[in-house]
Chain A
Amino acid sequence: MKTVRVLIVDDHRLFRSGVRAELGPSIQVIGEAEDVESAVTAIGELEPDVVLLDVHMPGGGGQEVLRRVLGSGSQVRFLALSVSDAAEDVIGVIRGGARGYVTKTISGAELTDAIIRVSEGDAVFSPRLAGFVLDAFASTEAPPIDPELDSLTQREREVLRLIARGYAYKEIAKELFISVKTVETHVSSVLRKLQLSNRHELSRWATARRLV
């Protein structure tokens, strides 16, 4: 199995070494960074497969890293990792370009799994993120501006609901009689909608609802 090269960006040294110790053998940590400046430099030099990105950091936080790295046309994939469950943080980094969001309470095995998934170009949704997305897309009665981007299909809704119920992708596939690959396709498509939909409700919803 090919190892995934990972850069850890977090301003807490203890946390960085903790993550390093917990990751499985298929993950190779190639470096660490502790603020926006050093993260942008390290990503440029090391070209990791996946960046584990903290949301709150000195110098603008994870969103600033996303803006500067993805803005320069880089294809690096980001997985956001944070203690915060605030809707504005979660929706903020996803809309900023991260391909997934997990909280720091995640177990080592699950995190390893999530990193591999992101490195393969898939999206990683925690139950909470799935809940936020369902809530955000359901909370408005305004007609969608772009129906393709501004609303979820019935199937996507079902997949998100199962994620929110605590199902793993494999279990979802079994439940809905589809392949794991199809589940991944649905989640990626939700991620794309979340990032590209220009309905203002999404951001406004996130800021208006400052809750866990």
Chain B
Amino acid sequence: MLPEMSEMPNAPAAYPRMVRPASGRVVAGVAQGAAAQLRLDPVVLRLAFVLLTVIDGLGVVAYAALWMFTPKEEVKGRAPAREWGQLAAYGVLWLALAGFAWMTGASSGGFGTWPIAVGGIGALILWQQADPGRRQRWMSGAVKQVSTTWVRTGIGALLVVVGAIGFLAASGELAKARTGLVFTAVVVGGMLMIAAPWLATLMKELQRERTERIRQEERAEVAAHVHDSVLHTLTLIQRNAHDAREVARLARSQERELRNWLYQPKQDADATLAAAVRRVAAEEEDAHGVQIEVVCVGDCELDEGLVALLHAARQAMVNACKYSGAPVVSVYAEVEPDEVTVFVRDRGKGFVLDDVPGDRMGIRQSIIGRMERNGGSARVRTEPGDGTEVMLTMKREK
């Protein structure tokens, strides 16, 4: 077996090829594979095959054909055992159905077959609808899906009724059954009338319960978040009450985290420039305990040059936090159609640029050198007592 082959089932594909899974198979995994392909419950397809087998043995032929043309799912190690218990259950079901078909003469084919087929398919659709897990998923889904559920239920019910009437008509029982049918209709109608208000209340109750549950889940999520982050930070703050710097840092990082949770759209932290600048600023703020105010105008995807820009900006933030002595650092990033500019500014001590020894890596190498190597430019403006501003510009890749 090729190693790549075994990876195949896990690889995401737009239209995955139908395979026969080995685990949970009853005969050869055909029904399970087809069910996965059609997004149905495998039980439904198994019942369909059993039903078709009763009618002229069609199911056996269909099953064999699918068996031949469907590749087996590759498994590592020993193949799991067949589900013998289920196989026995389907066997018993088949015996019962075959016996019923033989008694009514439907198994011999012809006109009498169709009512059973139609009724059976209708029943299968209804049965499928009644699957609780599936229904729950539909209910939580879009309105559109809910409406298709109703359409399917309607079609299923219609097929069952047509099948039943067709069966009666085919076996010549319809005329005899007419009085019985009227009687049944009246009884069922009356029971419905009696039960309707109760059913309606039940529905309403269910609806209410579901809303309540959703609300509770929401509340639980908020509570969990508050507990995990806010309460935790508050504990840390109490423990560090003597250290003003640490308290400020904790409060600040918690504030940022909460803000992100409340206002920030979910975005990939590394996909776009604005998100990346915010992330870098947050990390350096945490590391140095100096507040970094970030303002971003516009946004774009990161490319190689912009990653270099981001590294240089990080170095500038580190310098400002470590050496300037200023309580706040301002970072401003602007994305323009053809270039990106980042400013890192503090109102701290400042320094004389020419006095910085040549072997100091921070400014010369990590900022200016890095920007120039990547086709950008860096400018540092500083004066003792007048703060520092680092301006980084990088052309955008077209």
Q: Which residues of A contact B (CB under 8 A)?
A: 84-86, 127-128, 130-131, 134-135, 138-139, 161, 164-167, 210-212
Closest to A88 in B: B263
Q: Tell me if B265 and A127 are in contact (CB < 8 A).
A: no
CB distance from A84 to the nearest CB of B (A): 7
A101 to chain B, nearest CB (A): 13
Contact partners of B293 in chain A: CB under 8 A: 127-128, 166
Interface positions of B from 290 to 335, Cβ below 8 Å from A: 293, 295-298, 328, 330, 332, 334
Once the chains are docked, how many angstroms separate the CA of A134 from the CA of B295? 11
Q: Assess the B259–A131 pair: CB atoms within 8 A.
A: no
B295 / chain A contacts, CB cutoff of 8 Å: 127-128, 130-131, 164
Closest-CB distance, A95 to chain B (whole angstroms): 19
Q: Is the CB of A135 within 8 A of B389?
A: no
Among A86, A134, A210, point to the contact of B297 (Cβ < 8 A): A134
Q: How far is the CA of A140 from the CA of B191 in the complex (A)?
A: 64
In the bound complex, residues from chain B placing their C-beta under 8 Å from that of A165 are 330, 332, 343, 345, 389
Q: Please pick, from A86, A166, A210, the residue contacting B332 in the complex, using a CB distance under 8 A.
A: A166
- For chain B, the count of residues having a C-beta within 8 Å of the partner chain is 18
Least CB distance from A130 to B in Å reads 7
Q: Which residues of B contact A84 (CB under 8 A)?
A: 263
Of chain B, the residue at the smallest CB distance from A167 is B345
Task: Report the bound CA distance from A131 to B334 in whole Å.
Answer: 9
Residues from chain A with Cβ under 8 Å of B328 in the complex: 166
Specify the chain B residue showing the minimal Cβ separation from A134. B297
Choose among B259, B295, B296, B334 the residue with the greatest number of A CB atoms under 10 Å from its CB.
Answer: B295
Which of B264, B298, B345, B389 is in CB contact (< 8 Å) with A211?
B264
From residue A125, how far is it (CB to closest CB) to chain B in Å?
11
Chain B residues whose C-beta falls within 8 Å of the C-beta of A139 in the assembled complex: 298
What are 5 sample pairs from A and B whose C-beta atoms fall under 8 A apart?
A: A84-B263, A135-B297, A165-B343, A165-B389, A210-B263
Q: Which of B260, B265, B330 contacts A210 (CB 8 A)?
A: B265
**How close is A104's CB to chain B, nearest CB, in angstroms?**
10
Which residues of the partner chain A approach B260 to less than 8 Å between Cβ atoms? 212
Q: Is the Cβ of B332 less than 8 Å from the Cβ of A131?
A: yes
Report A-chain residues with C-beta under 8 Å of the C-beta of B264.
211-212
Q: Chain B nearest CB: distance from A22 CB in Å?
A: 16
A2 vs B343: C-alpha distance in the bound complex, in angstroms?
A: 38
Q: Report yes or no: A212 in contact with B263, Cβ–Cβ below 8 A.
A: yes
Bound CA span A173–B289, Å: 31
Contact in complex: A161, B334 (CB < 8 Å): yes
Q: Which B residues touch A210, using CB under 8 A?
A: 263, 265
In the assembly, what is the distance between CA of A135 and CA of B265, in Å?
17
- CB neighbours (8 Å) of A211 from chain B are 263-265
Distance of A210 Cα from B295 Cα, bound (Å): 14
Fill in one digit per residue for B48-60: 1 if any A CB lies within 8 Å of its CB, else 0: 0000000000000
CB distance from A202 to the nearest CB of B (A): 15
User: Restricting to B65-104, which residues have a CB under 8 Å from any CB of A?
Assistant: none
Rounded to whole angstroms, the CA-CA distance of A212 and B263 in the bound complex is 6
Q: Would A135 and B263 count as touching, CB distance under 8 A?
A: no
Contact of A131 among B263, B265, B296, B347 (CB under 8 A): B296
* B-side contacts of A161, CB under 8 Å: 332, 334
**Shortest beta-carbon distance from A168 to chain B in Å:** 9
Q: A131-B296, A134-B297, A135-B297 are in contact. Are A166 and B263 (CB under 8 A)?
A: no
Residues in A neighbouring B297, C-beta threshold 8 A: 131, 134-135, 138, 164
Which partner residue on chain B sits nearest A133 by CB separation?
B297
Who on chain B is nearest to A212 by CB?
Answer: B263
Please indicate the chain B residues that have their CB under 8 angstroms from the CB of A134 in the complex: 297, 334
Q: Closest Cβ of chain B: how far from A97's Cβ, in Å?
A: 24
Residues of B136-187 at the interface with A, using a CB-CB cut-off of 8 Å, are none
